[in-house]
Structure 1
Amino acid sequence: MAEPRRWYLFTYDIRNPKRWRKVYELMRGYGERLQLSVFRCSLNDRDREKLRWELAQVMAEEDTLLVLGLCGSCVERVRAINPKEGWPEDPAPFRVL
C-alpha cells in the first residue's frame, strides 16, 4: 500500500547565489514553484525526509528553511496569483493571526 501524501509549503532564504540556485533546482524536482523561493509540495514521509536531508547537504548554517504542513482546506486556499490575472472575484477568507 502506498504511503499517504501530505501537502507542505517550503520557503527558504539562501545567502549565497550559488547555493540558492542549487536549492532552487532541487526544489523544482519535488514541487510546484509559487514564488521565487516558495514551493508547494505533495510528499509522503519518506520523500519529505529525503528532501530535508538533501537540503541540509546544500544549505549553510546562515541559510534558513521554513516548512509548513498544510491541511486539505489550507491547500485549496493557497493561491499563486499572477498580476496579469488579478485577484479572484470571490475574496478568500483571510485572517490575521
Structure 2
Amino acid sequence: MNERLYIVAYDISEPGRWRRIFKLMKGYGEWVQLSVFQCRLTPKQHAELVALLDGIINHVEDHIVLMDLGVADNVIPRVVSLGKAEFQVIEHEVIIV
C-alpha cells in the first residue's frame, strides 16, 4: 500500500481541546503514550488528519508535531522503550467490509 508511518505528538493547553484531539487520533492510529500516537496513513488520510487537527487547535496556545518515519512497510524504528510497554510498530490490518 501507499502508507507512511507517522508519530504524532501534541501539547494541547485546554482539556476540552485535548479530549477532542485524543478522540480524533484514536480513529487514525494507535495510542503510544498520553499525547503520542503512531499512525499508518495514506497521503489522503494524512491530509484529512492535518486539516481536522488544524481546525481544532488554538494556533497560539497548542502545538502538534507529525513526524514522518517513512514508508510504513519498510520502517525499522530504532526505539528505546523503558517501562511497562515495549514499543512495537503497528502492522497493516486488512479490513473486510
| TM-score bracket for this pair, using the shorter chain length | 0.7 to 0.9
Residue 79 of structure 1: CA displacement? 6.5
Residue 73 of structure 1: CA displacement? 1.4
Residue in structure 2 matched with residue 63 of structure 1 by the alignment: 62
SS at 1:73's partner residue?
coil
> Deviation digits for residues 27-76 of structure 1, max 9, x if unmatched?
000000100000000000000010000001111111001111113112xx
Cα RMSD for the two superposed structures? 1.9
CA distance in 1 between counterparts of 2:81 and 2:15 reads 24
Q: Which moved more, 1:7-16 or 1:65-74?
A: 65-74
Q: Please say if 1:73 is aligned against 2:71.
A: no
SS at 1:34's partner residue?
strand
Gaps of 5+ in 1: 87-97
**TM-score w.r.t. structure 2 length?**
0.75
Task: Number of aligned residue pairs: give it.
Answer: 81
**Alpha-carbon spacing, 1:45–1:79, altered in 2? closer, same or farther (3 Å):** farther
**TM-score w.r.t. structure 1 length?**
0.75
CA contact (8 A) 1:34 1:80 kept: no
CA distance in 2 between counterparts of 1:31 and 1:85 reads 17
Identity %: 37
Residue in structure 1 matched with residue 51 of structure 2 by the alignment: 53
Larger radius of gyration: 1
CA distance in 2 between counterparts of 1:27 and 1:85 reads 20
Gaps of 5+ in 2: 87-97
